Structures are given as structure tokens and as C-alpha cells.
Amino acid sequence: MAVQENKKHYAIIGGGVSGLSTACMLKEAGCEVTVFEKESTPGGLVRCARVEGILYHCVGGHVFNSRKQEVLDWFWQHLDKNDFQLATRNAVVSLEDGTKVDYPIENHLYQMQESLRSAIIDDLLQIAAKGYAQADNFDEFLRNRFGNTLYNEYFAPYNRKIWRRKLTDVPLTWLEGKLPMPTVKEILEANIGQVKEMKMVHSTFHYPKQGGSQHIADSLAAGLDVRYNSPVDLLEKVGNQWHVNGEAFDAVIFCGNVKHLPAMLKGINVDLSGVERLSAHGTTSVLCEVEANPYSWVYMPSAQHESHRVICTGNFAESNSPAGMSTATIEFTLQLDKEEILKQLQLIPFSPRYIAHHYCPYTYPVQTAETPAIIADAKAQLAPHGIYLLGRFAEWEYYNMDAAMAAAMKLTAQLCSC
Ligand SMILES: Cc1cc2nc3c(=O)[nH]c(=O)nc-3n(C[C@H](O)[C@H](O)[C@H](O)COP(=O)(O)OP(=O)(O)OC[C@H]3O[C@@H](n4cnc5c(N)ncnc54)[C@H](O)[C@@H]3O)c2cc1C
């Protein structure tokens, strides 16, 4: 990457994966960077803590991989491969009748009860005979692609638990590049050949031997100028400079929540009213001791309880739990109090024992048909003033860590070519 001739000084708001990645990249390109992070540790959504000696992913459970070679190359330049282990996904869908079917479910119909399997294959053969009907939304896409039986058994109840709204309201633009779209032929071939799906980003994954995803954040933050416990409430343009917490900067990279930005800006005239219409879901992540099991993720479409996923974080690294103990994070796309969590846990497989919980209000950005235009308009208005949006809730994108790093690369290249 070309070294900046004028060595701009950037303020980066937010020390999550996006802010830390772009800070590293800009620093390596010769720029000065200062990261402002409101919490006392780096990481944002990937933050981990220790509770009763157990590694607790405060939000979900984070593993790393990428299909983008340039992201992998960059990642391994900044993290030591010896500190990680490579694992193969062992994920299952736990069906209402108790059957556990390997993930992705459509490739493992042969593991289901015969009557269910037969009904799904009837649907698939009809789809193959008629061809794929045009879909206008996520709901129609799922029915048209997998048939009504698999839709009713898994896709609809599981996705409703995550998205908490009608799947007809989820636009197809949201799907692009995010979901596999197997043809009937591919599904049948995978079942007959009992072929393992290895194309999805987390079919295999890298996981730190110590410290969980906090290790990734800590490693990226090391050597950077990060101001912890430094919430930024005001971004004020004075002449050509941005004033942030009493210091002056040439430009700002905003990696926080774009909905909070309009109230923070002073000294420029922009209309960001569109961001008020953006919506999101939160997640309650419940740390539990669970029965020993061999899984990495267990997806739960069951209507009997509200949780959609058990993330078997204790199985990700030996150091994550005390010897002899199995642990997991159980996810709910809802804010639940402890009393309700305890009731719910009684209905979930693996006899979970409650240890701790945390609610994060912004975890899943909800993409509607107008989301891309709202973000594009905000970026177009802000960039001429030297403010750039980057990250999951700055861009309202369903980024994984690697996509956040790829976006940081793109923005850094754009800034360094000016
Ligand atoms: C449940 C769940 C599971 C996931 N699992 C995976 C996974 O297994 N693998 C994977 O690759 N990705 C996973 N992801 C996605 C991953 O979490 C994100 O891609 C990544 O963490 C996004 O980082 P970010 O920096 O864009 O945002 P954030 O992590 O939200 O970081 C924003 C940071 O900005 C700080 N901040 C905000 N406002 C201010 C302010 N005004 N002043 C100062 N600081 C501020 C916040 O404290 C935070 O540290 C998962 C996400 C969720 C929700």
C-alpha cells in the first residue's frame, strides 16, 4: 500500500474489529491514527470475559475464517498461527422430534425420520419438475427453493426466531452472497454422496487456543494508540479539522452506530434523517454449563422455547472451561430477564445450567429494501466533510469479522489513493 505523503491524522471512533483493522492498515500506510473506545477493553461484539473461570463470549460466540485470500493473508500477518487451532464445523439442527440432523439440513435428509424425508423429497422433485418460481422476498425464496415441508419444519420457525418478523418482509437483496442457494440436483447429490459442505465460510474455522475472540481484538489493538473509557459524544468541525474529545484530526472514521451519529455532529450541514428508519435486533447471550456433547453449533427451530442456537463455545478450545466441564452460550433474539431465562433453559436440550447473561441491543442489523440507499446517501453526504462510515452498525451490514476486515481494506485503499 502506498505511504500517505501528507500523513493525515485520523480519529477512529470504536475499537471493534472494524476500527482496529482500519487503524492497523492506516498506520501501516504511514498515517497517524487514534482510536476512541468507550469501553475499557477492545473488541466490541467480539469481546470476551472470564466468569467462574469460564471463557464467556459476551455476544454469541466468535470464530474466524475467510474465503477472501487477501483477508487471510492480512490476518496472518497480524496474528500468530501458532496461537490458533483449526477446527471443522460440527453443527446440527435439533428437530422437534429430537432427531439431530447435520448442518446444512438440506444436505443431510438421509439422517431424518423416513416420513419427513419422503415428504421433503416429494417437494424437491416437484420443484425440479416445475422449475424455480420467481421469489419476491425471503419467505418465497425459502418455499420455492426447499419446498413447504422443509420450510415448515426448519427454515420458517428458525428464521422467525432470529428475525422476529414476517419473513415476507425480509427483502431478497439481503440474501446476496450470504446464503448458499443449492439446486435440487446439488441437494440430491449431496444426500446420495453424503458429501460434507465445505464452501461456507465457517465449514472450518480458526479459533484462539487462549482467550477466545478477545485474543484477536487484543492482538490488533497492541501497538495502536487506543483511548479506552473514551466515549465520543461530539464530533465538531472547526475549519478543516474535526475536534474529538479535545483533540484535532484531519478526518474521522466512524465505526459506531450510525443511528447515533446525527446527534453527535456539529459544524456541518447534512441531512441524515434516513438513518432513523434503520432497525436492528438485540441478543441475550446466556452462559451455561451443559451436558458434554461433540458439537460446535446446535440450531433449534423448536416452537417450545425462544432460543434459536446453542453455541458450544466450551468445545472451541480446551482453555475455555475448567477441566471436566462443558460450557455453551445460548442465544435469544430478545431481551429476557433472569427469571424468564431460567424458565426457558428448562426447555432446551443439553440440560443447561445458568451461569451469567448479557443483553446487547444491537447485534443483527435488519436490512430492508431501502437500507442500502440510506447508507449510500449518508456516506455520500459525509465523505466530502472527512467523515467515513465503516463497520457492522455504521454501514448497517451483516458483516462477519472477515467482511469487516475486507471493508476496512477497501476504505483504507480509498483514503490512501486520494
Ligand atoms: C451473535 C453474533 C455472532 C457472531 N459470530 C461471528 C463469528 O462467529 N465469526 C465472525 O467472523 N463474525 C461473527 N459475528 C460478526 C462480528 O461480531 C462482527 O463482524 C464484528 O464484530 C463487527 O465489528 P465492528 O467493529 O464493525 O462493530 P462492533 O463490534 O459493534 O464495534 C463497535 C465499537 O465501537 C465502540 N463505540 C460505539 N460508539 C462509540 C462512541 N460513540 N465512542 C466510542 N466508542 C464507541 C463500541 O464500544 C464497540 O467497541 C457475529 C455477530 C453476532 C451479533
Domains with residue ranges and CATH for the chain: 9-46+212-278+367-416 (3.50.50.60), 91-193 (1.10.3110)
Phi, psi dihedral angles at 47 (to 5 degrees): -60, 140
Which of 37, 39, 47, 62 best tests ligand 1's pocket when mutated (most atoms within 8 Å of CB)?
A: 62
Q: Which pLDDT belongs to residue 335?
A: 96
Q: Give the atom of ligand 1 at the shortest distance from the alpha carbon of 390.
A: 26
Nearest atom within ligand 1 for CA of residue 63:
8
Tell me, what's the pLDDT at 203?
Answer: 84
User: Atom 1 (ligand 1): residue with closest C-alpha?
Assistant: 60
Nearest residue (CA) to ligand 1, atom 45 = 14
CA of 292 to the centre of ligand 1 (A): 29
**Which residues form the pocket of ligand 1, taking CB atoms under 6 Å from any ligand atom?**
13-19, 36-39, 44-46, 59-60, 62-64, 231-232, 255-257, 283, 363, 391-393, 399-402, 404
Query: Which pLDDT belongs to residue 198?
Result: 65
Measured between alpha carbons, how far is 79 from 133 in angstroms, rounded to an integer?
46
* Ligand 1 centroid, distance to 175 Cα (angstroms): 21
Q: How far is the CA of 232 from the centre of ligand 1 (A)?
A: 17
Intervals of the chain under pLDDT 50 = 1-5
Distance of CA 334 to the CA centre of its chain: 16
51 and 329 in contact (C-beta within 8 Å)?
Answer: no
Best mutation site among 392, 393, 396, 397 for ligand 1, i.e. most ligand atoms within 8 A of its Cβ? 392
Looking at every residue in the chain, the average pLDDT score rounds to 94
- Pocket test of ligand 1: the residue of 200, 253, 364, 400 to mutate, having most ligand atoms within 8 Å of its CB, is 400
d(CA 357, CA 59): 9
Pocket test for ligand 1, best of 103, 200, 203, 255 (most atoms within 8 A of CB): 255
Residue 384 alpha carbon to ligand 1 centre in Å: 26
CA of 362 to the centre of ligand 1 (A): 9
Closest atom of ligand 1 to 14 CA is 34
Cα 358 to ligand 1 centre (Å): 15
CA–CA separation, 133 and 158 (whole Å): 23
> What are the residues facing 311 on neighbouring strands?
297, 329
Q: Contacts from 111-116 at CB under 8 Å and sequence distance 24+?
A: 116/149, 116/153
Give the model's pLDDT for residue 83.
98
- Is the separation of the CB atoms in 175 and 163 below 8 Å? no
Helix axes 401-416, 17-28, angle to 10 degrees: 40
Q: What is the structure's pLDDT at 3?
A: 45
Determine the distance separating the centroid of ligand 1 and the alpha carbon of 324, expressed in angstroms.
31
